[in-house]
Amino acid sequence: MSPGRQLAGAAAFFLRACSWLLALACLAAGFSAAAADPGYLDELQASARERGLAGTPAWQRLLHANPGVLGRKESTLDFRGFFLSAEGKSDPQSELDATLATFFDDSLLYEEPRQCRFKARYEWLKAQLGFDAARLPEADCARLREWLEAIDASALTLVFASNDLDGPSTTFGHTLLRLDAGGAAGDQRLLAYAVNYAAQTTREAGMLYAVKGLTGFYQGTFSVMPYYEKVREYERFEHRDLWEYPLLLDDAARQRLMWHLWELRGVNSDYFFFGENCSYQLLSLIESAAPQMDLTSSFRSGPDYTIPIDSVRALRNVGVLGEPAFRPANAHRLKHRFSELSDSGRTWVQAYVAGKAGLEDAAFIELPAAEQARRLEVAHDALYFRYQKRETGRSASLPRARELLAARSRNPAVSDFSDVPRPPISPDQGHGSGRIGLGLRALEDEDTAALLSWRPAYHDHLDPPQGFLAGGEIEFLGIELAVNDEHIRLDHARLLNVQAVAPRDELFKPWSWFATLDAVRARPLAERPGSLGGAFTGGGGAAWTPFTGSQLFAFATTRVEANSDLGRGHDLGAGAKLGLAVQRFTPLTLELSGEALEGLAGADTDRARLDATMQWSFGVANGLRLGYRIDHRRDDDFRERDTAVELRWLHYF
């Protein structure tokens, strides 16, 4: 071959080699940009196994797989898509392996890179194992970033919505989390976002709702929504005061919480009113971000229930709650402002609401601007309240409400109402939800019996009133044993007791009601009480406040009892109940109540009962309760009257 040709041949070969090399280089570069190193996955999985990461609380909490019975670690979450491994729900190790594998998968899951879909897991594993970005490139989480920026959470607040006895579903209160924005909007709580765990229900009839909620029939999920929507629901439509406790987590913990919340999008779990409810799930969420805190184990051991205020206490006890802000319900604000009006102001407002007074009345026109402003505001709120209670219609009352506001807008005065006074005791400082008692009962024939009681929840008229809604009683599954030299027996069980005592005043005229389900003996205070049966008592009526810190209530009642010791095995009666409860003289609380029932069917027994009880409380943890009881029964065949004096030491926990 000639040198020229050799050169050309060499050049061509060289060029071809170069292009091959270039192509290879491009290909190689392409590989490392588009696909991670699969050998790295094995390394990471081995490293994770070696370090026992799957067994750590931090990992298990991200899966909501807390140690349960027999140490089994099963997640409480049900949504299949939350688990990457087929056994993920019950096997944290396989879930960890599958999670690491998924980070190497470029395909999108629910339209999102997998590393972003499971951001909290990704960040935790990255920190634990030290991901090498060259071998496992980090995905860009645009959607997550947008979400985080829009929320701009710089602080967290735990919100406790107190109960409203008019709404049975609010019985134990509710907790939700508020994500407060930074910057200038930081003090605008209405612009924050709320994180709420709730059951997806339709508005169904009470009993069905209760049964479904108790048995885990509903599915619960976390939702994020503007906080003003919750305020509207609670403060404005319902009569629930809000207590807003700052939740003091550091920036890193808060960021982890937000990442984990992102992971929980659309992830459902069985909702149980008592157990895995709003409060339990919120604690789980917070725990996942702060693995050094143990918040839920006390709720998982023993009977399965989480009372919302107890979840607030759990956070307070680990030192992450600040002093709460108090936001009274609109109804309470209206009551307060109404009471700040003069007598003639109150009269005028009521007359206006009833359509008997107007803005053109001489009496109104002559008033100074400031006084007019006050009356206009209260009259409007009173009308609005009536509208919300459906005591008046939109077309009937809106024109008048608009008239009031139009007049107010022309009035330059500033109304000078004071704020609703903040209760000195916040709900978390009230007495513990559980109560045990040790006592003595003396019957008229000098027989005595020791009494042992336990009540898991919640509050009655004589318990220390601080932090609770005055006048209400809610009790679940209280049992009392009576012990004497002959035997130990179940004296009675208070399965359910709800008393919604809502005092009436000039402005508000609510109804009161109560319902009680007991297991009782046929002759509760007799020497030979007879066998145990069931009794349901219920009724409706009204209540008043004779003086501050007291409630006077009157109910029409019906009572149904089934007991083998009764003539014909059952008894139906109707009558009335009257009572006075006083908390004004704290630490002393008093209750006096009487009930008379006429037999209507079955054993046809006429009954009369009188209870006079007082309690001296020592702080909110202990109390001494003394009571005198009379139980009188009469029918065609007999007439019996039993009395007893009872003294109990009560401890709240």
Q: Which residues bind other proteins (CB under 8 A)?
A: 79-81, 110-112, 143, 146-147, 150-151, 184-185, 188-191, 193, 200-203, 219, 221-226, 228-229, 232-233, 236-237, 265-268, 373, 377, 380-381, 384, 387-388, 390, 394, 398-399, 401-402, 405-406, 408-409, 412, 414-415
CB of 180 to other proteins, least distance (A): 13
Is 327 in contact with 333 (CB distance < 8 Å)?
no
User: Residues 442-455, buried b or exposed e (16+ Cβ, 10 A)?
Assistant: ebeeeeebebbbeb
Half-sphere exposure of 199 (CA within 13 A, CB side): 24
CB of 380 to other proteins, least distance (A): 6
Q: With respect to other proteins, which residue has the nearer C-beta, 143 or 346?
A: 143
Q: With respect to other proteins, which residue has the nearer C-beta, 373 or 644?
A: 373
Q: With respect to other proteins, which residue has the nearer C-beta, 197 or 476?
A: 197
119-129 and 38-50 are packed helices; what angle lies between their axes, rounded to 10 degrees? 80
The overall longest dimension of the chain from CA atoms, in Å, is 139
CB of 221 to other proteins, least distance (A): 6
Give the pairing of strands 242-247 and 532-544.
unpaired
CB of 193 to other proteins, least distance (A): 7
**Cβ atoms < 10 Å from Cβ of 231:** 21
Q: With respect to other proteins, which residue has the nearer C-beta, 69 or 205?
A: 205
Beta bridge mates, 325: 244
**Cβ atoms < 10 Å from Cβ of 55:** 12
- The amino acid at residue 251 is D
Q: With respect to other proteins, which residue has the nearer C-beta, 2 or 395?
A: 395
In whole angstroms, what is the distance from residue 321 CA to residue 313 CA?
9
Residue 21, classified by CB atoms within 10 Å of its CB into exposed (0-12), middle (13-18) or buried (19+), is exposed
Q: With respect to other proteins, which residue has the nearer C-beta, 4 or 412?
A: 412
CB of 196 to other proteins, least distance (A): 8
**What are the φ/ψ torsions at residue 314 (nearest 5 degrees)?**
-60, -40
Q: With respect to other proteins, which residue has the nearer C-beta, 91 or 238?
A: 238
**Cβ atoms < 10 Å from Cβ of 612:** 14
Q: With respect to other proteins, which residue has the nearer C-beta, 221 or 426?
A: 221
Q: With respect to other proteins, which residue has the nearer C-beta, 146 or 506?
A: 146
CB of 225 to other proteins, least distance (A): 4
Is 561 in contact with 575 (CB distance < 8 Å)?
no
Render 451-518 in DSSP notation, one character per residue.
EEEEE-EEE-TTS--TTS-TT-EEEEEEEEEEE-SS-EEEEEEEEEEEEE--EE-SS----EEEEEEE
Residue with tokens 């619960």: 220
How far, CA to CA in Å, does 388 sit from each of 205, 239, 384, 391, 398?
20, 11, 6, 8, 12
CB of 397 to other proteins, least distance (A): 8
Give the pairing of strands 435-443 and 193-199.
unpaired
**What are the φ/ψ torsions at residue 180 (nearest 5 degrees)?**
-90, 135
CB of 210 to other proteins, least distance (A): 17
Q: With respect to other proteins, which residue has the nearer C-beta, 200 or 531?
A: 200
CB of 604 to other proteins, least distance (A): 45
CB of 436 to other proteins, least distance (A): 40
